[in-house]
Amino acid sequence: MTRKYFGTDGIRGRVGEAPITADFMLKLGWAVGKVLGNNTCDKVLIGKDTRISGYMFESALEAGLSAAGMDIKLLGPMPTPAIAYLTRTLHACAGIVISASHNPFADNGIKFFSAQGAKLPDDVELEIERMLDEPMQTVDSAKLGKAERVVDAEGRYIEFCKSTIPMTLSLRGLKIVLDCAHGATYKVAPAIFDELDAEVIAIGNEPNGLNINHECGSTKPKRLQAAVLEHGADLGIAFDGDGDRVALVDHRGNVLDGDEILYIIARSRQQSGMLNGGVVGTVMSNLGLEHALRREGIELVRAAVGDRYVLEMLTAQGWQLGGESSGHIICLDRTTTGDGIVSALQVVTEMVKRGMSLAELRAGMSKYPQHMINVPVSGRVDLKQHSPIQAAVRASEERLAGRGRVLLRPSGTEPVVRVMVEGEDEAEVRREAAELAERVARLLNTAA
């Protein structure tokens, strides 16, 4: 069944443009309440990041849920993974996150977690979409839902994050710069690392509703790099606006992305005998990660881009560790979803246990040059059924002769086909990407 509203990670768009409007959120809250409410559970959590539009959508969702007879627990600004955790521990039917992740403040969106703290199954999302087409009917006044704020939400999540590393571990002696992207981690992240005895320098921790992700955070780490060098810090940690992604900066100012973070955690789990299987990456995971893991005797399998697909493959394989180059790391032996703070804690723990710098921990992995060109298209394109394009891909792979790989995929958010080439030699990679993109553009009657 074709989805009308839900994408790979909830519903997202520009504020004020359908469906990211107050009236839609009112109806969405009601629909969620009708689909997920039952005789044994009538409680839903709502958390948000720091966007100014969060106030409006929080109120609209609250009203819709109440009209469906659901009680509402308001968490305020909290990281997305915190809402997943609290949904489980507070025994709610569902958790709702008001956030557009790493997007600018003018965007917003809605993500959902099940009672188990996982993304909603496809059939439940489709049922919510079906209910959105039904007329909204308010329950009897005596059955309307009530709303209250969870006053200890931050403390609960702080203690959970600390519980994911050894209780006796201290970060005393480490100087850490935290970039909170003026987002959902702005309070809890500094508190966690401070309570673990690190010397914390926080930046991007003064949200005003408009500055979330603006020239800061995991997608724009230049400010963090400069701060690490300025303060002589041991490392820097950058989160995105809702706290489910992370990027790291070593003491030399070099950025580590999700592939390198995944390598460090996988190697740590392997050496301690706790990996329990292989690692799930995505089709965009760097070839250098695959080769580095192979040298450690660790298998890497690739899922489609998107954390829900990584999670699906982890479940299918019965494995525990996976992630994306973007820094969305899933440690199922610690929690149910991607968590930037938890992922960073796993790496910092390894630094302390091994007595090694971040630069030394990542030294076993060398990233291969990767070049991507977006080819504009009009309408949907089935690349697998386009024989000339497949022939062009095979020709490019033959020229690389095992020194690299080629990936073509339609964007899920833009009218483009992403042409990516990766390999050992940067000049060769760029040349192959340019030639293939030109060929794809010509075959699709577009201009690269």
Catalytic residues: 101
Judge if the upstream peptide bond of residue 77 is cis by omega within 30 degrees of 0.
no
Cα angle value 206/212/217 (rounded, 5°): 90
DSSP secondary structure string, 123-149? HHHHHHHHHHTSPP-PPPGGG---EEE
Structure tokens at 28: 């969405």
C-beta separation of 223 from 179 below 8 A: yes
Structure tokens at 228: 């690490």
Taking each helix axis from N to C terminus, what angle separates 80-89 and 340-354, rounded to the nearest 10 degrees?
100
Query: How far from each other are the two terminal CA atoms of the chain, in whole angstroms?
Result: 33
Length of the chain: 448
In a 13 Å sphere around the CA of 373, the CA atoms on its Cβ side amount to 18
Cα angle value 318/324/328 (rounded, 5°): 90
Q: Single out the residue of 281, 380, 366, 378 nearest to residue 321, CA to CA.
A: 281
CA torsion sign for 118, 127, 72, 96 is positive
CA torsion sign for 44, 100, 249, 257 is positive
